[in-house]
Each structure stands twice: as structure tokens, then as C-alpha cells.
Amino acid sequence: MRKLNLLIVDDQNLFAKSLKIVFDAYPDDFESIIVAENGYKAIDILKEASVDVVLMDVWMPEIDGIKAVSMIRDFNKTTKIIMLSTYGYDKYVRSALKTGADAYLLKDISPDELISSIKRVFKGQKIISREILEHQEGNPDTKNQKLDYPKALDTLVQREKEILALIGKGYSNEEIADKLCLSEHTVRNYVSSINSKLETRNRFEAMRLAIEYNIGSLL
């Protein structure tokens, strides 16, 4: 994989510069690392510079990270955006995904895991911190929440629901195949059927739906 151009967006100057120091220690992975202190600066940079991946904080002055993502997506659909936050509340995660973020990670992530996640997201994977997903599963309020499920979910067979729930947890096709003792080809066929039935255009839309409606609770 080629070297990546990275943009760090965080109003905490010490954190942003510390993160840059970490990435500077991996010259084989990163071509350039730019730091912006708020969403408006990030937007200006993205209109001028070539950026592969953005690490975006959620809470910032002037404009929060979720609003910044929405504004960025108005003119840039291709740059990958990772929300990197202290806060993993459901409403923040859902809002970030709806506005166009590609991943949502917590700031207590290790450097190696963060760099691995950046590479995976750049390649097209969608990631949410396992701690966030585990919190959602263990939260009684989330489990007991009465949601108006899309009727299309009723058309899914049990195996499709199981696979959709795992997609919502960020599992790849290979990981799903291992977990359910299926071939990867079979999983791909199920994913295709899920997208067709739910009218989701891609894996990320299916993932977003799985999270939003807590699909695991249907199993």
C-alpha cells in the first residue's frame, strides 16, 4: 500500500501534536501529516490539499466534528474520515455515520491499533470500536428500546439476520465466515441478498442500519 496523506483535526493542541509525533515514527506508512485545530480549518485544507484519511474529533469549538463531516461530504465524497473521540455515546456514533464518517474510534486506542485501523479504512473497511459495540449490547436501555423496524427486516431469514448483526459489529466477510463456519463465498452471497432485500447500496449502509436498529436484539 502506498504512503498516506493524513489530516488530524483536534482542538486539543497537545493531543494533536502528540499524535503527529506518533505518526512521524512511521515514515514508511505516511507521506504527510497535517494538523488543523477546528473543522473550518480542515475544510479549507481539504479544498486545497490531497488528503487520504482524516482523523476528526467530535467536540471542537466553532464547529463540531459531526457538522464538519457533513460539510466536507458536500464537496468531497472520497476522502476517508475517522471520528476519533473520547465519547462513544450512541447518539454521537449514529450521527457521525449518518453524516458520512467511515469509522468511529475511541481515543484510548493503542498507536498500533490506530495505524492498522487507518490502513483498513483507507482500503474501504468500516470500523467501530469494539468497546462501543459491547456497550450497546450490554446497555438495557438499548436492548429494551422499542424501535419502528423497517418492514424489509422481516424478509430476512435467520442466517441473514445473524450476518447483518455481525456486519453491524464491524466484522469482515472472512471473519463472519470463520465465526459462522461458512465459506467466504457463501457469506458474500448472503450479503448480496441482504443488500437486495433492504435496498442498501453497500456494506456501510447495511452496517449503519444494523447499528441504528440494534439488529442483534432480533436474534
**Cell digits of residue 126:** 468500516
State the pLDDT at residue 135.
Answer: 54
In order along its 219 residues, the chain shows pLDDT tens digits of: 899 999 999 999 999 999 999 999 999 999 999 999 999 999 999 999 999 999 999 988 888 899 999 999 999 999 999 999 887 666 778 888 888 999 999 988 899 999 999 999 999 888 888 777 665 554 544 444 434 456 788 888 999 989 998 888 778 899 999 999 999 999 999 999 999 998 888 887 788 788 777 776 555
State the pLDDT at residue 126.
Answer: 82
Helix (H) or strand (E) holding 53: strand 53-56
Distance, in Å, from the CA atom of 14 to the CA atom of 19, rounded to the nearest integer, reads 9
State the pLDDT at residue 89.
Answer: 63
Q: Which residues contact 136 (CB under 8 A, 6 or more apart)?
A: 90, 142, 211, 214
State the pLDDT at residue 23.
Answer: 95
- As a residue count, the chain comes to 219
**Cell digits of residue 155:** 424478509
How distant, in Å, are the alpha carbons of 24, 83, 152 from that of 93? 29, 9, 23
Query: 104 and 207 in contact (C-beta within 8 Å)?
Result: no
Output DSSP code: residue 17: H
Query: 200 and 207 in contact (C-beta within 8 Å)?
Result: no
Q: How far apart are the first and last CA of the chain?
A: 38
Distance, in Å, from the CA atom of 189 to the CA atom of 31, rounded to the nearest integer, reads 38
Query: 96 and 65 in contact (C-beta within 8 Å)?
Result: yes
State the pLDDT at residue 141.
Answer: 47
State the pLDDT at residue 53.
Answer: 98
State the pLDDT at residue 209.
Answer: 80
Helices then strands (H, E): number in the chain?
A: 11, 6
